[in-house]
Amino acid sequence: MSAIKKLNLKGHLLTAISYLIPIVCGAGFVIAIGMAFGGNSGADLTQEFTFWDALAKMGAGALGLLPAVISTGIAYSIASKPGIAPGFIIGLTANAVGAGFIGGIIGGFVAGYLAVAIIKYLKVPSWAKGLMPTLIVPFLTSLIGGLFMVYVIGLPVAAFTSWLTNALNSLGTSSLLIFGAVIGLLSGVDFGGPINKTVFAFVLTMQTEGINEPITALQLVNTATPIGFGLAYFIAKMFGKNIYTRSEVETLKSAVPMGVVNIVEGVIPIVMNDIVRCVTAVAIGGAAGGAVTMVLGADATVPFGGVLMLPTMSKPLAGALAIIVNVVVTGLALALLKKNVKEDEQVEVEEEDIDLDDIQII
């Protein structure tokens, strides 16, 4: 167990996701705008094309390379600079053998640890020192890792992803409802934290396999949650209740617009003041929104964009309905659960004890 902890697999994955997110957001927004106005992401830009085709294609190009991005990020996190070259090459190999995002993740770990091992164990004569970082490390890691990807990892991962795809496609309504609720709940509970991002990696994998509903469920929850916080203010007011302090209301003024474009993190300062009630409300709302998304089959073809994802769906109304349900449920739950506060109150929260396993002293 401690050996596994020392490898810090999750830390490397999160580091890679931190590099991935701006790419997903940037490219996702570009492709969402392009496709919302009728652009074709498969357009050939050397032939005749429209402005919207150009946007869609730009985004699609970057999103298609996500396995290489995640692989490079992981390898960099493990091996620093010498990890970048093999991570990139092995990540592209994962794409080539159809191992997709899961392949990219595995490839990144392979690339990173191979680079570390070669630097540590391969001793070269001093005249070859200069060749080490420029030729020997990138060449050997890419060769070994790339071939490993093609002949060992590629097949089972490709088989697994196609099995997953089939299994998900054949889910019945009640399973869809539960699946959607679970995604919504998990993505809601930590407001863009590690759980949300792990689910994100998982549903993004499915989108690269052509299953769009799960990632739609996740992103619609991210979109709806902050809007729900905003709505809760008004619902509570109708009951003659005030649930936010003045500084929290100020926070909401930027958090709600951020939510509209798919960024959930704006509400975190409010959540931190009242963790249990906020998380509960968000989990209930997220589960409802996620379930609606899956059952009605809202299927954004882009992985990011908030309300801009709607026009890319085959059933935009389903997506809109999912957001509305999520917003209303979260808003209602917050309005009911949260205590009445005075506007200028300072909230003091009881701190949790720190578990000794959670800290590392070096």
Residues that bind another protein (CB under 8 A): 11-12, 14-15, 17-18, 21-22, 76-77, 191-194, 197, 263, 265-266, 268-269, 272, 275, 351-354, 358-362
Cβ-contact 70, 102 below 8 angstroms: no
- Closest contact distance (angstroms) between CB of 328 and another protein is 25
Of 17 and 176, nearer to another protein (C-beta) is 17
Q: Considering the complex, state which of residue 78 and residue 118 has its C-beta at the smaller distance from another protein.
A: 78
Nearer to another protein, 74 or 328 (CB): 74
CA 283 to CA 326: how far, in whole Å? 10
Least Cα distance to 158 among 114, 106, 86 occurs for: 106
Task: Decide whether 122 or 272 has the Cβ nearer to another protein.
Answer: 272
CB of 17 to another protein, least distance (A): 6
- Specify the residue, 73 or 319, whose C-beta has the smaller distance to another protein: 73
Cβ closer to another protein: 95 or 205?
Answer: 205
- Helices 100-121 & 194-208, crossing angle to 10 degrees? 110
For the bound state, the minimum distance from the C-beta of residue 82 to another protein, rounded and expressed in Å, comes to 14
The minimum distance between CB 266 and another protein, in angstroms, equals: 7
The sign one gets for the Cα dihedral 205, 209, 210, 214 is: negative
AA letter at 282? V
Tokens found for residue 95: 């794409």
Angle between the N-to-C axes of helices 9-36 and 194-208, in degrees from 0 to 180, rounded to the nearest 10? 60
In whole angstroms, the minimum distance from the beta carbon of 354 to another protein comes to 5
Nearest to 222 by CA among 145, 292, 296, 290: 290
In angstroms, give the least distance from the CB of 298 to another protein.
24
Question: Amino acid identity of 247?
Answer: S
Give the helix/strand (H/E) hosting 273: helix 268-273
- Residue 73: CB minimum distance to another protein, A: 9
**Residue 34 or residue 226: which is nearer to another protein going by CB?**
226
C-beta of 3 vs 361, nearer to another protein: 361
3-state SS assignment for residue 316: helix
CA 80 to chain centre: 23
Residue holding tokens 């917003």?
Answer: 327
Q: Give 328's Cβ-side CA count (13 Å radius).
A: 8
List all residues 6 or more positions away from 209 whose beta carbon is below 8 Å from its beta carbon: 100, 161, 162, 164, 165
For residue 52, the tally of other CB atoms under 10 A from its CB is 17
The nearest distance, CB 2 to another protein, in angstroms, is 15
